[in-house]
Amino acid sequence: MSEAERAGELAPQARTHAAPGSGSGHVARHPSPKEYVRIAIILAIITAAEVAIYYIEAVEGLLIPLLFLFAVVKFTLVVLWFMHLKFDSRTYARFFMMGLAGAITLFLVVLLTFRVFAG
Amino acid sequence: MASDAMEVHAYESEHLATSTGLPNIKLAMWLFLASDCMLFGALISTYVLYRGASVVGPYPNDVFDIPYTSVSSFVLLASSLTMVLALAALQRGDIGRARVWLLATALLGMTFVGGQVYEFTTFAHEELTLTTNLFSTSFYVLTGFHGTHVAIGILMLLTLLTFSFSGRLGPEKAETVEMVGLYWHFVDIVWIVIFTVVYLIPTGNPG
């Protein structure tokens, strides 16, 4: 098996390049500082929106779904761009998804067991 | 996002070949972060379970100061930006700028932890201590664990800064900085969840 095959499947954006310091001597793509700043501005805007809707009574019925949506978008942006999962080997993403899936399962099992959703 | 906005960084490899073809340290870090997900998953579940189960106050709505915590959230988000900028600078070989961004990240982290200490102190003055009720116990344990993670991250950042002044931090150490960065961003994503679940989602408690 070649080293590239052993390195695992790479994300499409980095298919021809290995992750930094991967031991393969390949090249990795990372966002430019300008791109990082753009992501940070988006994160700041979403955070401001989260706080704003907390105070807007008109969206009270949609508050929890909207807050969850905003949190998921922020979480995803940080993981994909700042933690480079969008660009690195998918093996890292699989490891992380394993832990995340475990945490979400634990959360749901606990809350379902104690009937938190039933009110 | 436009891929043309990306830069391509080349690295001289200093690793021996591994069985996966990936650096073991980075695999280990992602495994650690996966396990830490489980830890915080348990703590957040406990908080959600108990936050509305207190029989005596103060309740969440009595003590939370959303504008104040929002500023803390912005501070931690900003620290994630400075962290990636430090890594990018080091990968370019710009040690001076990497040092500045590392220092900025550590200072923003200290601001966050300082804010958390102030918040805890304020709550204690409002008679909300670790043993007051189910809400306070689960709240302090969850946010305390997160704050401890941030504090450990600050120590790692300060260690990197010390290395930079003794000439032990160059582009060849970019992977080390990336590991600290992964940890730091993880702390940030945990806060994204805590800020939403703990502070912004209203409770059914009186208050």
**Phi, psi at B173, each rounded to 5°:** -100, 15
- Cα dihedral value B90, B76, B151, B137, nearest 10: -160
Q: Is residue A58 in some structural domain?
A: yes
Q: Is residue A13 in some structural domain?
A: no
Q: B94: distance to nearest CA of chain A, Å?
A: 13
More confident residue, A36 or B7: A36
User: Under an 8 A CB cutoff, do B73 and A63 touch?
Assistant: no
Q: Is residue A47 in some structural domain?
A: yes
User: Under an 8 A CB cutoff, do A63 and B91 touch?
Assistant: no
pTM of structure? 0.87
Instruction: For CA atoms B172, B33, B43, A74, give the dihedral sign.
Output: positive
**Phi, psi at A99, each rounded to 5°:** -65, -40
Q: Is residue A49 in some structural domain?
A: yes
More confident residue, A114 or A39: A39
Q: Is residue A26 in some structural domain?
A: no
Task: Say what the pLDDT of residue A25 is.
Answer: 42
Paired strand residues for B6: A31
Domain count, chain A: 1
pLDDT in tens, B50-95: 988 888 989 998 999 999 999 999 999 999 999 999 999 999 999 9
Paired strand residues for B9: A28
Q: Which domain holds residue A65?
A: 31-83
Task: Report CA-CA distances (Å) from A69 to A62, B101, B159, B184, B192.
Answer: 11, 31, 37, 23, 12
- Answer whether residue A7 shows pLDDT above 50: no
Q: A58: distance to nearest CA of chain B, Å?
A: 15
Q: Is residue A37 in some structural domain?
A: yes
Task: Say what the pLDDT of residue A119 is.
Answer: 58
Q: How far apart are CA A80 and CA A44, in angstroms?
A: 16
Q: Which residue has the tokens 């650096």?
A: B23
Task: Report CA-CA distances (Å) from A55 to A49, A50, A72, B64.
Answer: 10, 9, 20, 14
Task: Say what the pLDDT of residue A3 is.
Answer: 43
Cβ contact B75:B115 at 8 Å:
yes
Least CB-CB distance to B7: which of A32, A43, A111? A32
pLDDT in tens, B147-192: 999 999 999 999 999 999 998 998 999 999 999 999 999 999 999 9
User: Under an 8 A CB cutoff, do B11 and A21 touch?
Assistant: yes
Domains of chain B as residue ranges with CATH? 22-46+69-200 (1.20.120.80)
B94 token code pair: 């710009």
Contacts of B126 (CB under 8 A, 6+ apart): B58, B62, B63
- Answer whether residue A92 shows pLDDT above 80: yes
pLDDT in tens, B102-143: 999 999 999 999 999 999 999 999 999 999 999 999 999 999
Task: Report CA-CA distances (Å) from A23 to A5, A8, A29, A91, B22.
Answer: 13, 13, 15, 15, 6
Q: Is residue A113 in some structural domain?
A: no
Question: Which ipTM was obtained for this model?
Answer: 0.89
More confident residue, A118 or A42: A42
Contacts of B65 (CB under 8 A, 6+ apart): B119, B122
Among the ranges A7-16, B12-21, B41-50, which has the highest mean pLDDT value? Answer: B41-50
Least CB-CB distance to B38: which of A28, A91, A106? A106
